[in-house]
Chain A
Amino acid sequence: MVDKNQLRIATRNTGFIDPESVESYIAVGGYQALGKCLAEMKPADVIDLMKNSGLRGRGGAGFPTGVKWGFAAKYASDTKYVVCNADEGDPGAFMDRAVLEGDPHNVLEAMAIGGYAIGGNKGTIYIRAEYPLAIARLKLAIQQAKDMGLLGDNIMGTDFSFDIELKYGAGAFVCGEETALIASMEGNRGEPYTKPPFPAEAGYWDKPTIVNNVETLANIPAIIMKGADWFSGIGTETSKGTKVFCICGKINNVGLIEVPMGTSLKTVIYDVGGGIPGGKEFKAVQTGGPSGGALTYKDLDAPIDYENLVARQSMMGSGGMIVMDEDDCMVSVAKFFLDFTMDETCGKCTPCRIGSKRLYELLDKITIGQGTEADLDKLRSLSDNIKDTALCGLGQTMPNPVLSTMRVFEDEYRAHVIDKKCPAGVCADLLEFTVVDEKCVGCTLCARVCPVNCISGKPKEVHVIDQAACIKCGACLDKCKFDAIIKQ
C-alpha cells in the first residue's frame, strides 16, 4: 500500500536530481523562479507574495518570512545581506544537511530571490564546518551558477547582481540563534545580543540583514512558481505549507519526512514512521530538539503546527523528532537535553549560564535517588524563571524538556523522589536486581558472570544478590536462562 501522507516541497528534489549538476537542477525548473521574479515582478510584489503565502520560518520560531523581508526592505541602506542559517545543531536533526547535499541550487536560488526582494546583493551561508560534503556541493553549485550567469553580476542579463559566500561555524550550537550567528560571522565570540534592534534593521556589520533557515529558503522557489494561494492552501489556519522532520529513536522507519502542517502526530508516528519497533508501547516524542518538549499519547491526535506545539509546552523547532517508548525514563530524557544545553549555552546571561547547570544538577539528583518533593517545586520555579529572564531563544526554551515532561509524567518524577524507583527501569541507582525464588534453579551462571561477586548460593539452590554490593550492571539478568532475575 502506498500512502500519500507526505508532500514534498522543500525536499522536492533531494534524492532525484544530481546535486553536483546545475543542468540537473535546471531540468526540473531550477532558477525559473528567480528568472520570473527578475523579469516579471517588482521587489515589493515578491514580498507581498511571500506574505500572502503564509510561509513561516522553519528554523524553529516560526516568524513570517514575508514580514521579515518586508522589514529589511523598508530600511534604506547601501548594503543589505541575505544570510542562510545552515548551522543545524539539534540532536537528531539533519533536514538542512539533506537539502544542502541533495539540492544546493534550490537554496542559492532562494537567497537570490530574497536579495532581490529586500534590495540586497550579498549573501552568506553560515554553515557548520562539520558538514564537509554540503560545503563542497555548495561551493561547486555557486561556481556553476556563476558560470551560467545565474548568480554573480547581471543575473540572466538583468541589472540585478547577487553573490554568495560561505562562512563556517566552529561547532557552537548557540550560533544557530540569529544574533549569535551574526556575531560569529563578524569574527566575534558566538554570543547572542539583545533585540531590538532586529537584524532586519541592523544585522551583519550593522546593515539590514535577513537570516533565513535552509528549509525556509528551500520552499521559496516553489512558492514563486506555484503561487501564494497554492501554498496557503496547504496546512492549517496559522501554519501553511509542509514541515520536514527527522524521525528517529524508537521508530521503525527512521528517516526524513515532509508532511503538510496539521498532520496528526499519530499519522507521523504510525503511518509514516511505521510505528514502534518490538511491539513496544509509544511513550513520547521530543519535538523541537533541546528547546522543545515531549508530546505524549495525549497529543497523538493533535494537528502538528506552530501554535499547537507551543500550547503543549513544546515547539516546532527545526524538525527533530525523537521517539521514545515505554523503556525510556522521562526524567533521564529531560536530563539528557539539559546536559546538551548546559554544554552549549554561551554563558553570556546568568539564567542560562548558571540556571542550566542548576536544572541539570536537580535532575541528576533525582535520577540517583536523592531528590525530594521540594526539588520538584524548585525545578518548576527555576524553569519558569529561566524562561522569563533568559536573553535569547536558547535560554528561554531550555527548560522546556523539564516542564513538558513534568506536565505529563509528574507521576514518574514523583516515583523517583518518593518511592525512589525509576518506573522505566533506566536510572541505575534506583534499580534493584533480585532473584525470583520460584524460578531459580541454582545453575550458578549468574554468580559466575557477576563482575563484583555479589551473587551467592550453592549449586542447585536459590541464589541471592547482595544489594549493597551490586553495581547494577545487568550482566546476571542477560545471562539467566530461566527468567529468574528481574529488575525493578
Chain B
Amino acid sequence: MSMMNITIDGKTTQVPAGSTILDAAKKLNVHIPTLCFLQMDELKFNNMVASCRICVVEVENRRNLAPACATPVMDGMVVKTNTIRVLNARRTVLELFLSDHPKDCLVCAKSGNCELQDLAEYFGMREVGITGAMSTYRQDVSPSIIRDMDKCIMCRRCETMCNNVQTCGVLSGVNRGFDAVVAPAFEMNLYDTTCTNCGQCTQVCPVGALVENDHTWKVIDAIADPDKVTVVQAAPAVRAALGEACGMEAGQSFTGKMVAALRRLGFDHVFDTDFAADLTIMEEGSEFLDRLQKFLDGDKNVRMPIMTSCCPGWVKFFEHQFPDLLDVPSTAKSPQQMFGAIAKSYYAEILGIPREKMVVVSVMPCLAKKYECSRPEFAVNGNPDVDIVISTRELGRLIKRMNIDFAKLPDEDFDNPLGASTGAAPIFGNSGGVMEAALRTAYELATGETLPAVEFEAVRTLTGVKTAEIQVGPHTLNVGVASGLGNARKLLEMVQSGEKQFHVIEIMACPGGCIGGGGQPYHHGDMELLAKRNKVLYNEDAGKEFRKSHENPYIIELYEKFLGKPLSEKAHHLLHTHYFKRHQL
C-alpha cells in the first residue's frame, strides 16, 4: 500500500493512502476534538459525515478549513490544528451548538457522559456569545427510550446505527434548515414505529437526546412500600459490566458485589435471571428436540430452523420485518418473563402471598426488556409478571444514590430457590451463549450420553454472523448465530430464500449479544469493552459446579414440585408465548 507523508503541527509521519487527517493525528498523538465522528469497525459502524465541523483544521493551500475526520491525507500535506483561525472556528461552531442547546445539565440524564459537555469544558466556555431562538420539539416517551430532540445536535450517529447496523430504518433526518432533526417518519412516536427498543441509538448518542426511560425512582418507591414484597432478578450480562458504571475497571466479574448491592438497596429477595436461563433451556431445548424429530419424520406442519426467542428486540424485529416467519421462533418466553411468571406463581405460593403483593424488578443490560414487560400477554388480570425493569446504567445510578460504596462491597450469594444456576446460564449474555447452552442440554437429552466437551468454540467468537455444523448423536445440525439486527437480517434472508437449511438459529439484537446491550454502561465507541465483558461470562461458566441447565438441582425441583415436565400443560401456560404480525412501516 502506498504511503503518504503528512506534517501536523510540525511533526511528520507516514500513513497509508486512504487514511484521514484524524488517523494521522492520532498516530502523532495530536489531539483533535471530534463530536459527530464515530467509527466502530467491529460493527461496521462508520459515522464519517463531517457535519459537526468541530474537528476542522488548517490545510496548507486549501481555501477553507478541512474536517480532519473525513479528509483523506494527500502526500506532502501540511496541517495545522492549533492556529487562532482554527480555534476561533471551533469555538464558533461550539457556540452555535450551545446557542441551540438547553443548558439544563443539572437535570439531564447524560450529564457526566455527554460529549458536548466535555467539549464545552475542553474549550473553557464560560459564556455563550451567540444567542437566538432555540429548537423546541415535543418529547417522545416510549417504554424504553426517551427522545428529547431539543438536545439533538444532528450528528446522525443514531441514524447510522438504526439504518446501517440494525437495519430498522426508524430514525432519519427530517425537515431542513434550523428545523432539521432526526425523527421517525411522519413524526410518529417511537412506540408506533418498527423500533425494536434495542437502545443502540442511546449507546451512540453523544448528548441527552436519546436516553433510556429511567425507572430508578419507581424502584426506590417499591422498596420503600411496606405493603410490597420486592423480588429482584439480574440478567447475566449485568454482572459483566456493572462495575464500569461504578467506577471500576472493566473485565472483572461483579456478580458477588452486585448481589451485595441489590441486598443493600433493600430488595427482599435477590434472585438471578440465570435460574430462568436454565429453565429456558429446558423448555426451548425440549421444544427443539420435539420439532426436530417431527421435521425428520417428514411432518409438513413443522418448520425448521427453530430460532431463539430470548431477545425482545429481536422478537419485535421479526414481528415487523418477517411476519411470514412467525411460526419459526421458539414459543419459549425470554428468561426475564419466565422468571416473572415463576416468581408470581411458584414463589408467591411458597411465600403464601397473592401475586399483587409482589413487585418483580429486573436489572437488564437491555432497554427492550422495559418494553417486553409491558406487553399485555405477559400479565395476569392486568398485573404484569415483571413490574419494573431497570438497565445496568440505572442500577449503577441507584447504587451511587443510595450511598453504596460498590468497590468495597463483599461478594455475596443469591437467595434460593430462584438464585441457583449452572454454567449454561451466564453465557446467555454472550452472542452464541444460548446456542451453546441449548446444545449442551439437547445433546445429552437426545443421546443419553455425557457430552465430552461443553465448550462449542465455533459459536464463541465475537463475529456478527457465525455458522457451524454440529454433530448431535446421529444428527448433523446446521446452526447459525447472529448478533446485531443487520446480521440477523442476513441470516433470515438466507432462511427465507431457502439458500441454507438451518436447524437452530440464535439471534440477539445487540452487537456481541447482551454484553453490548443498549442498557449497558456507555462504551463511547470502545469495542474492546465488549471483548472484556465476553470473557468474564465465559470464566463465570467455567467456574460453575454444574455446566448444563438440566443439572440445576433447583430446576429439577421446580419441575418435580410444580411444573411436571418440560412442555407440560402448566409449563406451556406459564413459560410459553405467541407472536403477533405487526406493521412494516
Please tell me whether chains A and B touch each other in their complex, using a CB distance cut-off of 8 A: yes
Which residues of A are found within 8 Å of B72, using beta-carbon distances? 196
Tell me the complex Cα distance, A172–B176, Å: 9
Which among B85, B92, B132 is the interface contact of A351 at CB below 8 angstroms? B92
Q: Mark A346-358, 1 if CB is under 8 A from B, else 0.
A: 1111110111111
Residue contact B52 to A388, C-beta cutoff 8 Å: no
Which residues of B are found within 8 Å of A342, using beta-carbon distances? 177-178
Decide yes or no whether A344 CB sits under 8 A from chain B. yes
The contact sample of 18 A-B pairs, CB cut-off 8 A, is A194-B50, A196-B71, A344-B176, A349-B50, A349-B53, A350-B53, A353-B154, A353-B178, A354-B100, A358-B130, A378-B129, A378-B130, A381-B92, A385-B88, A385-B92, A388-B65, A389-B65, A389-B92
Residue contact B173 to A191, C-beta cutoff 8 Å: yes
Distance to closest chain B CB from A354 (angstroms): 4
Which among B53, B67, B132, B175 is the interface contact of A358 at CB below 8 angstroms? B132
Decide yes or no whether B172 CB sits under 8 A from chain A. yes
Q: Mark B466-496, 1 if CB is under 8 A from A, else 0.
A: 0000000000000000000000000000000
Residue contact B67 to A194, C-beta cutoff 8 Å: yes
> Which 6 pairs between the two chains have the least Cβ-Cβ distance?
A347-B180, A385-B92, A354-B96, A194-B50, A357-B178, A361-B132
Besides the contacts A349-B53, A354-B97, what 11 more A-B pairs have beta carbons closer than 8 Å? A194-B70, A194-B71, A344-B176, A350-B54, A353-B178, A354-B99, A357-B133, A358-B99, A358-B132, A385-B93, A391-B67
Distance to closest chain B CB from A389 (angstroms): 5
Within 8 A of A (CB), among B228-263: none
Residue contact A344 to B177, C-beta cutoff 8 Å: yes
Residue contact A389 to B56, C-beta cutoff 8 Å: yes
Decide yes or no whether A396 CB sits under 8 A from chain B. yes
Distance to closest chain B CB from A269 (angstroms): 30
Within 8 A of B (CB), among A11-28: none
Decide yes or no whether A166 CB sits under 8 A from chain B. no
Which residues of B are found within 8 Å of A387, using beta-carbon distances? 64
Decide yes or no whether A343 CB sits under 8 A from chain B. yes
Within 8 A of B (CB), among A337-379: 342-351, 353-358, 361, 378
Which residues of A are found within 8 Å of B153, using beta-carbon distances? 350
Which residues of B are found within 8 Å of A172, using beta-carbon distances? 176
Residue contact B178 to A356, C-beta cutoff 8 Å: yes
Decide yes or no whether B462 CB sits under 8 A from chain A. no
Tell me the complex Cα distance, A355–B94, Å: 11
Tell me the complex Cα distance, A473–B15, Å: 66
Query: Known interface pairs A194-B67, A388-B65. Does A350 touch B93 (Cβ–Cβ under 8 Å)?
Result: yes
Decide yes or no whether A485 CB sits under 8 A from chain B. no
Decide yes or no whether A10 CB sits under 8 A from chain B. no
A interface residues, how many (CB within 8 angstroms)? 35
Decide yes or no whether A390 CB sits under 8 A from chain B. yes
Query: Known interface pairs A196-B72, A378-B130. Does A347 touch B154 (Cβ–Cβ under 8 Å)?
Result: yes
Which among B92, B96, B179 is the interface contact of A347 at CB below 8 angstroms? B179
Name the residue on A nearest B181 (C-beta): A347
Tell me the complex Cα distance, A110–B527, Å: 52
Decide yes or no whether B51 CB sits under 8 A from chain A. yes
Name the residue on B nearest A359 (C-beta): B132
Residue contact B51 to A349, C-beta cutoff 8 Å: yes
Q: Mark A251-284, 1 if CB is under 8 A from B, else 0.
A: 0000000000000000000000000000000000
Which among B65, B133, B179 is the interface contact of A361 at CB below 8 angstroms? B133
Decide yes or no whether A407 CB sits under 8 A from chain B. no
Which residues of B are found within 8 Å of A358, using beta-carbon distances? 96, 99, 130, 132
Residue contact B178 to A351, C-beta cutoff 8 Å: no
Distance to closest chain B CB from A315 (angstroms): 13
Residue contact A349 to B180, C-beta cutoff 8 Å: no
Which residues of A are found within 8 Å of B88, using beta-carbon distances? 381, 385
Tell me the complex Cα distance, A104–B154, Å: 40
Decide yes or no whether B567 CB sits under 8 A from chain A. no
Decide yes or no whether B89 CB sits under 8 A from chain A. yes
Which residues of A are found within 8 Å of B93, using beta-carbon distances? 350-351, 385, 389
Residue contact A350 to B52, C-beta cutoff 8 Å: yes
Query: Known interface pairs A361-B132, A388-B64. Does A349 touch B176 (Cβ–Cβ under 8 Å)?
Result: no
Name the residue on B nearest A346 (C-beta): B176
Decide yes or no whether A189 CB sits under 8 A from chain B. yes
Name the residue on B nearest A349 (C-beta): B51
B interface residues, how many (CB within 8 angstroms)? 37
Tell me the complex Cα distance, A348–B152, Å: 12
Residue contact A350 to B89, C-beta cutoff 8 Å: no
Tell me the complex Cα distance, A347–B96, Å: 13
Tell me the complex Cα distance, A386–B96, Å: 10
Tell me the complex Cα distance, A389–B53, Å: 6
Decide yes or no whether A71 CB sits under 8 A from chain B. no
Distance to closest chain A CB from B439 (angstroms): 42
Decide yes or no whether B49 CB sits under 8 A from chain A. yes
Tell me the complex Cα distance, A353–B92, Å: 13
Which residues of B are found within 8 Å of A355, using beta-carbon distances? 92, 96
Residue contact A348 to B49, C-beta cutoff 8 Å: yes
Which residues of B are found within 8 Å of A196, using beta-carbon distances? 71-72
Which residues of B are found within 8 Å of A189, using beta-carbon distances? 172-173
Name the residue on A nearest B130 (C-beta): A358
Which residues of A are found within 8 Å of B71, using beta-carbon distances? 194, 196
Residue contact B176 to A347, C-beta cutoff 8 Å: yes
Which residues of B are found within 8 Å of A174, using beta-carbon distances? 176
Decide yes or no whether A41 CB sits under 8 A from chain B. no
Tell me the complex Cα distance, A358–B98, Å: 12
Distance to closest chain A CB from B513 (angstroms): 32
Decide yes or no whether A382 CB sits under 8 A from chain B. yes
Tell me the complex Cα distance, A348–B176, Å: 8
Tell me the complex Cα distance, A356–B54, Å: 17
Distance to closest chain B CB from A406 (angstroms): 18
Name the residue on B nearest A354 (C-beta): B96
Query: Known interface pairs A193-B49, A357-B132. Does A350 touch B64 (Cβ–Cβ under 8 Å)?
Result: no
Q: Mark B153-175, 1 if CB is under 8 A from A, else 0.
A: 11000000000000000001101
Which residues of A are found within 8 Å of B173, using beta-carbon distances? 189, 191, 347-348
Q: Mark A44-73, 1 if CB is under 8 A from B, else 0.
A: 000000000000000000000000000000
Which residues of A are found within 8 Å of B89, using beta-carbon distances? 385, 388-389
Q: Mark B53-96, 1 if CB is under 8 A from A, else 0.
A: 11010000000110100111000000000000100110011001
Distance to closest chain A CB from B179 (angstroms): 7
Tell me the complex Cα distance, A100–B88, Å: 45
Which residues of B are found within 8 Å of A354, using beta-carbon distances? 96-97, 99-100, 178
Which among A193, A347, A361, A378 is the interface contact of B175 at CB below 8 angstroms? A347
Within 8 A of A (CB), among B380-414: none
Residue contact A357 to B67, C-beta cutoff 8 Å: no
Name the residue on A nearest B94 (C-beta): A350
Distance to closest chain A CB from B435 (angstroms): 37
Tell me the complex Cα distance, A346–B89, Å: 21
Residue contact A391 to B51, C-beta cutoff 8 Å: yes
Residue contact B130 to A347, C-beta cutoff 8 Å: no
Q: Mark B99-133, 1 if CB is under 8 A from A, else 0.
A: 11000000000000000000000000000011011
Which residues of A are found within 8 Å of B51, using beta-carbon distances? 348-350, 391
Distance to closest chain A CB from B283 (angstroms): 45
Residue contact A353 to B99, C-beta cutoff 8 Å: no
Distance to closest chain A CB from B142 (angstroms): 24
Which residues of B are found within 8 Å of A350, using beta-carbon distances? 51-54, 93, 96-97, 153-154
Tell me the complex Cα distance, A387–B64, Å: 7
Quick one: which of A343, A385, A387 has the most chain B CB within 10 A?
A385
Name the residue on A nearest B88 (C-beta): A385
Residue contact B178 to A347, C-beta cutoff 8 Å: yes
Tell me the complex Cα distance, A368–B133, Å: 16
Which residues of A are found within 8 Å of B172, using beta-carbon distances? 189
Tell me the complex Cα distance, A189–B92, Å: 27
Which residues of B are found within 8 Å of A381, using beta-carbon distances? 88, 92
Distance to closest chain B CB from A375 (angstroms): 11
Which residues of B are found within 8 Å of A357, using beta-carbon distances? 100, 132-133, 177-178
Distance to closest chain A CB from B127 (angstroms): 14
Which residues of A are found within 8 Å of B64, using beta-carbon distances? 387-390, 396
Residue contact A390 to B53, C-beta cutoff 8 Å: yes
